[in-house]
Amino acid sequence: MNQTAILESISATEPMLPHPAIVSAVRPEAYGISTFSLEYADPTLATGFSPGQFNMIHLPGFGEVAISICSDPRTPAVMEHTVRYAGSVTRAIGRLKPGDTVGLRGPYGNPWPMDLVEGRDLMIASGGIGLAPLRPVILEALHRRNSFGRILLLYGGRTPQDLLYTDEYERWLNGGIEMYVSVDRADETWKGQVGVIPMAFYRTRLDHRRTLVFTCGPEIMMRFVIYEAMARRIPKEAIYVSMERNMKCAIGFCGHCQLGPVFICKQGPVFRFSAIEPFFGREEF
């Protein structure tokens, strides 16, 4: 390979180069789930992100994973990532402590369409760790609450101990977010609702002419939410989903995250439901 070809291949791979970032805080959320605050060592790299976008977190010797940015878009210098310890990379992230360094690149992906929500109602339906990519939507909505109509949050976890961001719920409620939090299995500490998210949805009144739906969570939950929304005459074009698939490059090179004709990393992870309906629910292989 001549010098030019080598330089070309370096510049072609540069978009995938992770940059050092410092772990500035670690906050346990639930069993096997913590939130990691990351700050670029070179602060000029923190150029901002939009709700729903994700970063690639790289740990030398383990690999790289896609993780949603779950913090306030108005403080881009400190980006929070809630990580569930699922496999080798996320378990290694789980061992990080404040002061440790990781590789970081991003932000990537198509965000939630916040501009479309202005002046309309929004129903957020999420389950488990699916609340992570929707938390920036809530935080942004709190900043300019008067720009939006009703904001409803339906959120479900398996048990009370599995719920994320519980210490923020009071602030969200006081900021004008209507919240319906439920668990599949209650214990003696739980004073809230018991049941899956679709049950909470059945009890919710919505104006189909002005409501947008944002949903993220287990695909079975999203399927119920989408079909119940459509049964309420909310158009497919007003329903947005965030999809997760096994992801490698995050920039549309490798095809690992392909869903039918679309790449989740480039055209997603947030999609208008009508754009992916034929492929929704299709198994990864």
Ligand X SMILES: Cc1cc2nc3c(=O)[nH]c(=O)nc-3n(C[C@H](O)[C@H](O)[C@H](O)COP(=O)(O)OP(=O)(O)OC[C@H]3O[C@@H](n4cnc5c(N)ncnc54)[C@H](O)[C@@H]3O)c2cc1C
The binding site for ligand X (CB under 6 A) comprises 54, 63, 65-68, 82-84, 86-90, 129, 132, 244-247, 269
How many Cα neighbours within 13 Å face the side chain of 51? 23
Report in angstroms how near the CB of residue 81 gets to ligand X at its nearest. Answer: 6
Closer CB to ligand X, 74 or 91, in the complex? 91
Report in angstroms how near the CB of residue 92 gets to ligand X at its nearest. Answer: 8
Closer CB to ligand X, 85 or 190, in the complex? 85
Three-state DSSP at 258 gives strand
Q: How far apart are CA 37 and CA 264, in angstroms?
A: 25
Closer CB to ligand X, 48 or 87, in the complex? 87
Report in angstroms how near the CB of residue 140 gets to ligand X at its nearest. Answer: 17
**Residue nearest ligand X (C-beta atom):** 87
Report in angstroms how near the CB of residue 264 gets to ligand X at its nearest. Answer: 6
Quote the tokens at residue 209.
Answer: 């002419």
Closer CB to ligand X, 211 or 267, in the complex? 267
Q: Residue type at 15?
A: P
DSSP string, 6-31: HHHHHHHHGGG--EEEEEEEEEEEET
Which residues make Cβ contacts (< 8 Å) with residue 153, sequence separation at least 6?
A: 124, 126, 138, 172, 177, 178, 179, 180, 181
Report in angstroms how near the CB of residue 129 gets to ligand X at its nearest. Answer: 5
Max alpha carbon distance in the chain (Å)? 70
Q: How far apart are CA 4 and CA 102, in angstroms?
A: 31
Report in angstroms how near the CB of residue 165 gets to ligand X at its nearest. Answer: 13
CB 120 within 8 A of CB 212: yes
Residue among 199, 216, 183 nearest 109 (CA): 216
CB 148 within 8 A of CB 118: yes
Closer CB to ligand X, 88 or 166, in the complex? 88
Q: How far apart are CA 2 and CA 136, in angstroms?
A: 46
**Torsion 182-184-189-193 (CA) sign:** positive
